[in-house]
Amino acid sequence: MLNRLRLFAVVALVTGAVASAAAVWLDGPGGLQDRVRRLLFIGAPLFEVELPGQAAQPPHSGEVEIYVGFAPGGRVAWDTFRALLNGHDVTASMTLGRNGAHGKLLGLTEGQNQLRLQIFGRSWWGGEYVEDEQVLLLPVAGRPDLDRAWLGPALASA
């Protein structure tokens, strides 16, 4: 009887852990449905994004450098690439080529900024054109030196 109770406890614990992991995986954009759709219709991603220096800490300035590498093999219609920063088209501020895009995006505001990258290309399974899209959240930290008041020499002596 004690072995059955232990087995039941282990099964309940594992089931709860799997259900929790599935709930996190299914939640929001990039969930299971998006992953399955991407795999079935697109195959491997049409582009990869690299933000050097962004992983260490959020920048204090309103600019970020970005590298976008396109998938090899002619699957990507590179001239359809589009970058939207907080809803504004910033594609023209990037250098665009057949193998990717690179640029320094200016105009990020303090707090969370949304960067939406879009491109069209051919899917693995049938060669039809599909859209691949990634949405990145870019945090910008406030400048701590701007939060302090400076009285200056004239006001300090008064």
Whether pLDDT at 72 is above 80: yes
The residue that leads in pLDDT, 34 or 112, is 112
Residue 82 is predicted with a pLDDT of 96
CB-based contact 124:145 (threshold 8 Å): no
| pLDDT on residue 155 | 53
89 confidence band (pLDDT: 50, 70, 90): very high
Mean of all residue pLDDT scores within the chain: 77
Q: What does 117-128 look like in DSSP terms, one character per residue?
A: EEEEEE-TTT--
Per-residue confidence (pLDDT) for residue 10, from 0 to 100: 76
Q: Mind listing the domains of the chain with CATH numbers? A: 44-143 (2.60.40.10)
- What are the b/e assignments for 18-31, b being 16+ CB within 10 Å? eeeeeeeeeeeeee
The model's pTM is 0.64
Assess whether pLDDT exceeds 90 at residue 119.
yes
Sheet holding 100-106, edge to edge: 47-50, 63-70, 100-106, 94-97
Strand duo 111-122 + 129-140: pairing: antiparallel
